[in-house]
A and B are shown apart, each in its own frame.
Chain A
Amino acid sequence: MNRRVQLALANPTVRGWLVISPPLVYALLLLVGPILVVVAYSFWTQDYLEIRREFTLDNYRAALGEPIYRDLLMRSLWISATVSVVTVVLSYPVAYFISFRGGRFKSLWLFAITVPFWSGYLLRILSWKVILGYNGIINSGLLALGLIKEPLTSILYNANAVVITLTHSWVAFAILPIYVSIEKIDRTLLEAADDLGDGPLRRFLRVTLPLSMPGIVAALLIVMIPTVGDYVTPRLVGGKDGVMIANAIQAQFGKASNWPLGSALAIATMLVVSTMALAGVGLLYGLRRLLR
């Protein structure tokens, strides 16, 4: 072997980069590359069948300014923020239980909770449609029991149905980061709080909750950013009032065939949701300082 190559291979940094390069190059080519192309498209113009490659901000003006898109974006942000907060509130006690009381069944609990997340995405949303539908399980069940005279119309094809379905889909994913952060808490700190006279509630608010904040923040982000772009849930259970921004993005790449506008909608959504998420994180850490 060439001496220079041998020397280079002796360097741990070179060896490390070499080993990680296949998946890294794959991600660069098929994730970073495509996103850069989308960014480029977002500054171009659709001219019937041609793409005019001249820099313009018109697409962003339309994406953030036109009432249809602005309303869709606001609604998507509102839905994803609601879903992430509800998800974290519902998951926290479960993560807490598994970490403190799980004993030797900890990994079994975690497995049981993650299984639904790894299978049946489309089917899960479909089953919510079947449950909440006009002739669905809740309505037909209540009718059969004689509790209602005619089917409830308020439970499907609106934003509430989207929130319920998305929360159910993502709740398992929020438990993992919260669980990890609770698991890391040094248990002697809790004993110290006990010894110093803190009751259970005070101990939780002043020790457990602040120390598990990184997990809460991670869970909020992990849920909020992907759900803002959910496409299937609004299509299946959202109806007219539950349409979200992903449906508009898809339309630009499908029927409407305006790729530059679709690209600008996608990039603008990502930027806005990231900014909002960062602001939320800042707020939470500010709150944590207040608790101490």
Chain B
Amino acid sequence: MKLFGWRPSLLGIYTVIFVIILYLPVALLPVFSFNDSATPKLPLVGFTTKWYASLAHNSTMHQAAWNSLVVGISTAILATVLGVCAARATTRHSFRGKASAAGLIMTPLFLPEIIVAISLLVLLLAIGMPLSLFTVILGHVLFCVPYAISVLVAGFEGFDPSLEEASHDLGAGVFETMRRVTLPVLFPSILSSLLVSFTISLDEFILAFFLSGTDPTLPVYIWGQLRFAAKLPNILALGSIMLAASLLMLVLAEFIRRRAERRVSAQV
């Protein structure tokens, strides 16, 4: 038996069920955000957009969204700049201690986030820096650099070093080579890294929770609202919007990355 040219096997069926279960809980949020009931339960009672409409006049939420935007954009830019340095060093240079240096930079990915968050909190308060969106950005950059690196390394690997050498030989200086050769070739990976870092920052809760002081980001705002059962449908609506935005950015990042990959393999 064949389904759409694919022969189902036990393993294949398992994988499909696995992916469905992976998405199911998240897919429930949008479903219940349109349900005309104050508590999310079955059976569904009717379609409404009132939970979305009430978000339009919620100025606290708007401030949190603005904060998230500021943090996300700053984090994306800083993490990508640092990520380019690390990705370049690991793909183009060979030197002693490279593995340990790269390992250290990747560590935030493998530690419990609460450890990273409280250590940063303790240090910042010890040196007397007040908590603000700036301190959230400091934490988010630390956390996003490893993801940025993993996206950017692929870009550097598909980038022929002889292009830069040729530019040098033709008399271009360091900055001209960077502007006219390096950045254009790496542009898709850089864009993809910006989008991924922004998405991760938008979604990140623990670091923001410990480091944000009195300016909440969206996840911190959501956390505060969870105490009020009556606010749950609004949170589901807000969450659905955030999920849709994240999904859009991740798909866009993947699309850009793949197109660039295809272009590189076409050149070879």
Contact = CB atoms under 8 A, between A and B. Distances in A.
B142 A118 contact: no
Contacts of A98: 15
A226 interface: yes
B89 A93 contact: no
Given A19-B89, A20-B90, A31-B116, A118 B200 contact: yes
A221 to B, nearest CB: 7
A244 B94 CA distance: 43
Contact of A96 (B11, B19, B115, B200): B11
Contact of A262 (B14, B95, B118, B138): B118
A120 B42 contact: no
A171 B210 CA distance: 26
A16 B89 contact: yes
Interface residues of B, number: 86
Contact of B239 (A23, A126, A141, A230): A126
B121 interface: yes
A111 interface: yes
B32 A20 contact: no
Contacts of B114: 229-231, 246, 249-250, 266
Contact of A34 (B32, B119, B199, B254): B119
Contacts of A23: 82-83, 85-86, 105, 145, 149
B136 to A, nearest CB: 12
Interface in A205-258: 221-222, 225-232, 236, 246, 249-250, 253
A17 B88 CA distance: 11
Contact of B85 (A19, A30, A35, A172): A19
A38 interface: yes
Interface in B88-141: 88-90, 92-98, 101-102, 104-105, 107-108, 110-116, 118-123, 126, 138-139, 141
A131 B26 CA distance: 10
B40 interface: yes
A93 B14 contact: yes
A119 interface: yes
A128 interface: yes
A113 interface: yes
A121 B116 CA distance: 17
A112 B258 contact: no
Nearest to B21: A168
B115 A120 contact: no
Nearest to B96: A13
Interface stretch (A57-65, A132-140, A185-193, A280-288): A132-140
A127 B33 CA distance: 11
B42 A27 contact: no
7 contacts: A15-B95, A19-B85, A23-B86, A34-B119, A124-B26, A253-B118, A270-B111
Given A97-B15, A123-B222, A126-B29, 16 more contacts: A20-B89, A24-B104, A27-B104, A27-B105, A27-B145, A28-B104, A33-B123, A35-B115, A97-B14, A120-B242, A123-B242, A130-B236, A137-B40, A140-B41, A229-B111, A269-B112
